[in-house]
């Protein structure tokens, strides 16, 4: 019977002492290079500004561990790639643990304390697990090679919409070379590891403590039998082993040494990015510190250390680019390329011992590594990129910070600049008198309370488009009728309300935003109410997520949540059901920003409609194109707008009758797109409130008053 202590792996048998010493010299050198490379990366991050992301470290670490363990962010919308990455990741982790275990015993515990455990049953199970892990790693790498070479996925192309062919950074071939070098080196390490294992088995095939237990290394055993079948003898394996051993060892050590300076470092930076992510990234933008002289990001050193970490965490997977509405319609923006440009700039400028001159740190412009103004203004700040990024890169906050600098320098579209001036002067984007904000209410058959004068249960924050746009005013009146019919005690701010500032802030006009926010908070603080309702998701987002930073914390709901409750409680009674075939567009600021996916759909079903979701729905909903202030910026003539792209998607639904929205800006954007995309007469665009209004059973006295008002 074989002594269990003999059942172990042979490491340095038949090697001369000088050979072993040389290997350790290479090993320590690789570790030294790795440590120095890590130091330079940390030095780079420390050159960024402070960031307040250090709180709740245990919670952050646990959340990161769950995300990485489940691979939940990687399998979303690309299950095959996510599962292949899982094979690579878990294979790497297990092989790393295995190598560390060998080092722990061979170099530390046994020489210092005489402790041995790497033999017998422990070794056999260890060998089996590592064989399976290594095989999974190779399978994952093979799929990734196939995917990159033969599937020709647009998101894996590095050609840029904001550059021209011939520009030095048009398609950046260095990234393709790096990708393939990473894949080939990793797969060669795995393959040579198995071949080395098989060679060892053939070499020691006459030793029972090795050969009799070969099936605990199933991949290596299969290769060993294949090599014997091809004529390899024990002597031949013994002669072949040293050169293969050195090749495998040096390749592995080189891989380790280069981790901080190549794509491989995403193993660590991605984990750190996930750990320090902001759960409200983009939903809540950062304030400008009181001691900061200039707004926004002008230089690479204006970015925070966490921003710089995010740049390195990007794996170039292209999911953000694939989800970006601006990119989909040919605008010169890829969120990935913004991040990569800034990464290149940071590596060139911040990895040096001494920082370059201030003029050489400017990240705005047309040079290599700089970001174009046109690129930044193409962003709709819809958060599609942030939401889908598997490693929690926060593209939108960085883009908005760069916009803040552009706004401060006056580098923007003239129409946008005029709109911002209009908002500052009148408090709304339409340039209307504040006294006209509630003019739509004059045609109603009932009075609406002034919340500044009388206590109310619910204060209705209406928003600009719902107040001033003639088409949206009809929707606003319909919602007022619903609230009145349900007996809700509600009121308005009337001329005390100003633009909520959500889009002003995402344009980058932080000073104007703070003026609007603090003015609205002051008006709200003068009122007596329990909660806020709004029909505008843009206002909903900033009041809910950003006003608290300015001292305004309120309970606020989108109208869909309020109406659903009123219907469920029987306070709103439907006189009929609709049999329309409809689809619903998730507004970015209600859905992706604030997870308000279900209430509108539940109402649609209560109305009796046949709801058919478009392919891109819920968190993958496609932006209408209005966000980030783009509703105030004209699109280039002849280009397809995001709203038209969305109409084309809806047009594929057979028998579609109504395209349902629940946002004033959506109503404006999609009614225009319905005409320009050629679907007028095929289906209509309606606000959800209008469908509810169509089903309502209003009291007779209200209907009579409305008839009289129409006659007059």
652-691 pLDDT, tens per residue? 999 999 999 999 999 999 999 999 999 999 999 999 999 9
The answer to whether residue 478 scores a pLDDT higher than 50 is: yes
Q: What Å distances lie between residue 252 and 27, 190, 194, 471, 592, CA to CA?
A: 10, 10, 14, 66, 43
Residue 696 CA to residue 690 CA, distance in Å, equals 10
The answer to whether residue 369 scores a pLDDT higher than 90 is: no
Average pLDDT, the chain: 94
Q: How confident is the model at residue 514 (pLDDT cuts 50, 70, 90)?
A: very high
The answer to whether residue 703 scores a pLDDT higher than 50 is: no
108-163 pLDDT, tens per residue? 888 888 888 888 999 999 999 999 999 999 999 999 999 999 998 999 999 998 99
For residue 359, what pLDDT is reported?
A: 80
Provide the CB-side half-sphere exposure for 666 (13 A, CA).
Answer: 28
Q: Return the closest-CA partner of residue 375 out of 347, 406, 409, 345.
A: 406
The answer to whether residue 702 scores a pLDDT higher than 70 is: no
For residue 105, what pLDDT is reported?
A: 87
- Rg of the Cα trace of the chain? 31
Q: Which of 49-53, 131-135, 275-279 has the lowest mean pLDDT?
A: 49-53
Number of C-beta neighbours around residue 276 at 10 A: 20
Q: Return the closest-CA partner of residue 162 out of 315, 409, 336.
A: 336
Which residues are CB-neighbours of 265 under 8 A, at least 6 positions away?
41, 259, 312
Q: Taking a C-beta distance cutoff of 8 angstroms, is the pair 418, 507 a contact?
A: no
% of the chain residues with pLDDT over 90: 87
Q: How confident is the model at residue 650 (pLDDT cuts 50, 70, 90)?
A: very high
Q: How confident is the model at residue 1 (pLDDT cuts 50, 70, 90)?
A: low
% of the chain residues with pLDDT over 70: 98
Mean pLDDT computed over 56-65: 94
Residue 169 CA to residue 166 CA, distance in Å, equals 8
Residue 70 CA to residue 74 CA, distance in Å, equals 9
The answer to whether residue 371 scores a pLDDT higher than 80 is: yes
Residue 352 DSSP one-character state: S
The answer to whether residue 709 scores a pLDDT higher than 60 is: no
Q: Return the closest-CA partner of residue 252 out of 38, 122, 116, 103.
A: 103
The answer to whether residue 708 scores a pLDDT higher than 50 is: no
First to last CA, the chain: 108
Q: Where are the domains of the chain?
A: 57-157, 279-411, 416-711
Q: What is the DSSP string of 252-305?
A: HHHHHHTGGGSGGGHHHHHHHHHHT--TTBTTBPPPPPTT-SS-S--BGGGSBH
597-608 pLDDT, tens per residue? 999 999 999 999
Per-residue tokens: 145:
């090679």
For residue 505, what pLDDT is reported?
A: 98
> Exposed, middle or buried: residue 247 (CB in 10 Å: 0-12, 13-18, 19+)?
middle
Residue 591 CA to residue 561 CA, distance in Å, equals 12
Query: Facing residues of 709 across strands?
Result: none
* DSSP tally for the chain: helices H, then strands E: 30, 9
Strands 658-661 and 581-584: parallel
The answer to whether residue 710 scores a pLDDT higher than 80 is: no
Per-residue tokens: 157:
């192309």
State how far Cα 395 lies from the chain centre. 8
For residue 711, what pLDDT is reported?
A: 38
Q: How confident is the model at residue 353 (pLDDT cuts 50, 70, 90)?
A: confident
Angular region, 440: left φ>0, alpha ψ -120 to 50, beta rest: alpha
- pTM, 2 dp: 0.94
For residue 184, what pLDDT is reported?
A: 96
Was domain 279-411 assigned CATH 1.10.10? no
- Give all strands of the β-sheet with 490-492 in edge-to-edge order: 449-450, 490-492, 458-461, 531-534, 556-558
- Give all strands of the β-sheet with 658-661 in edge-to-edge order: 610-611, 581-584, 658-661, 684-687
**Helix, strand, or coil (residue 476):** helix
Q: Taking a C-beta distance cutoff of 8 angstroms, is the pair 260, 475 a contact?
A: no
Q: Taking a C-beta distance cutoff of 8 angstroms, is the pair 49, 302 a contact?
A: yes
186-234 pLDDT, tens per residue? 999 999 999 999 999 999 999 999 999 999 999 999 999 999 999 999 9
Q: Return the closest-CA partner of residue 386 out of 329, 338, 332, 341.
A: 338
């Amino acid at each position: 019977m074989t002594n269990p202590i003999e059942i172990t792996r042979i490491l340095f048998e038949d090697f001369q002492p000088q050979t072993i010493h040389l290997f350790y010299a290479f090993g320590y050198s690789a570790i030294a290079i790795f440590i120095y490379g890590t130091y330079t990366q940390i030095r780079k991050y420390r050159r960024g500004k402070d960031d307040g992301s250090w709180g709740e470290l245990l919670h952050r670490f646990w959340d990161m561990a769950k995300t990485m363990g489940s691979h939940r962010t990687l399998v979303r919308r690309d299950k095959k790639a996510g599962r292949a990455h899982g094979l690579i990741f878990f294979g790497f982790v297990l092989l790393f643990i295995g190598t560390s275990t060998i080092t722990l015993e061979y170099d530390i515990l046994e020489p210092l304390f005489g402790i041995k455990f790497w033999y017998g049953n422990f070794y056999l199970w260890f060998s089996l697990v590592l064989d399976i892990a290594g095989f999974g790693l190779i399978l994952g790498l093979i799929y990734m090679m196939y995917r990159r070479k033969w599937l020709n996925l647009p998101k894996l192309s590095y050609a840029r919409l904001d550059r021209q062919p011939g520009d030095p950074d048009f398609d950046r071939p260095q990234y393709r070379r790096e990708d393939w070098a990473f894949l080939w080196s990793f797969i060669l390490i795995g393959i040579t590891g198995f071949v080395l294992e098989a060679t060892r088995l053939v070499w020691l095939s006459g030793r029972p403590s090795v050969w009799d237990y070969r099936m605990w290394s199933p991949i290596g055993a299969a290769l060993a039998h294949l090599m014997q079948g091809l004529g390899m003898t024990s002597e031949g394996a013994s002669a072949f082993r040293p050169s293969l051993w050195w090749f495998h060892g040096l390749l592995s050590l080189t891989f380790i040494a280069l981790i901080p300076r190549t794509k491989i470092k995403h193993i660590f930076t991605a984990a750190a990015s996930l750990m320090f992510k902001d759960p409200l990234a983009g939903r809540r933008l950062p304030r400008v510190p009181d001691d900061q002289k200039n707004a926004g990001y002008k230089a690479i050193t204006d970015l925070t250390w966490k921003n710089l970490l995010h740049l390195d965490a990007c794996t170039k997977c292209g999911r953000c680019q694939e989800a970006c509405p601006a990119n989909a319609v040919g605008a010169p923006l890829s969120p990935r390329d913004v991040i990569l440009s800034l990464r290149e700039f940071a590596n060139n400028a911040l990895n040096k011992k001494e920082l370059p001159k201030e003029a050489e740190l400017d990240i705005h412009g047309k040079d290599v590594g700089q970001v174009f103004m046109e690129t930044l203004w193409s962003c709709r700040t819809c958060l599609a990129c942030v939401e889908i990024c598997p490693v929690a890169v926060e593209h939108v906050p960085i883009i908005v910070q760069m916009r803040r600098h552009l706004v401060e320098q006056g580098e923007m579209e003239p129409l946008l600049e005029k709109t911002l001036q209009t908002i500052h002067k009148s408090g709304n984007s339409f340039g209307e008198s504040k006294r006209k904000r509630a003019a739509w209410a004059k045609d109603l058959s009932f009075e609406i309370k002034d919340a500044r004068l009388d206590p109310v249960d619910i204060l209705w924050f209406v928003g600009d488009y719902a107040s001033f746009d003639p088409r949206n005013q009809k929707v606003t009146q319909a919602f007022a009728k619903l609230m009145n019919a349900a007996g809700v005690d509600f009121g308005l701010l009337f001329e005390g309300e100003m633009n909520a500032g959500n889009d002003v802030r995402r344009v980058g006009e932080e000073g104007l935003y703070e003026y609007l926010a603090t003015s609205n908070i002051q008006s709200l603080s003068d009122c007596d109410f329990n909660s806020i309702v709004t029909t505008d998701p843009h206002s909903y987002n900033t009041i809910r997520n950003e006003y608290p930073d300015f001292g305004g914390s309120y309970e606020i709901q989108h109208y869909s949540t309020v109406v659903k409750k009123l219907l469920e409680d029987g306070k709103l009674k439907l006189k009929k059901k609709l049999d329309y075939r409809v689809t619903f567009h998730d507004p970015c600021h209600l859905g992706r920003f604030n997870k308000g996916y279900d209430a509108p759909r539940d109402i649609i079903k209560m109305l009796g409609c046949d709801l058919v979701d478009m392919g891109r729905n819920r968190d993958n909903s496609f932006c209408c194109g209005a966000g980030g202030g783009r509703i105030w910026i004209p699109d280039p003539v002849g280009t397809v707008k995001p709203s038209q792209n969305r109409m084309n998607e809806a047009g594929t639904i057979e028998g579609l009758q109504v395209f349902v929205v629940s946002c004033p800006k959506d109503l404006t954007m999609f009614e225009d797109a319905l005409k320009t995309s050629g679907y007028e007469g095929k289906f209509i665009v309606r606000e959800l409130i209008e469908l509810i209004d169509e089903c309502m059973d209003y009291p007779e006295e209200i209907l009579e008053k409305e008839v009289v008002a129409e006659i007059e």
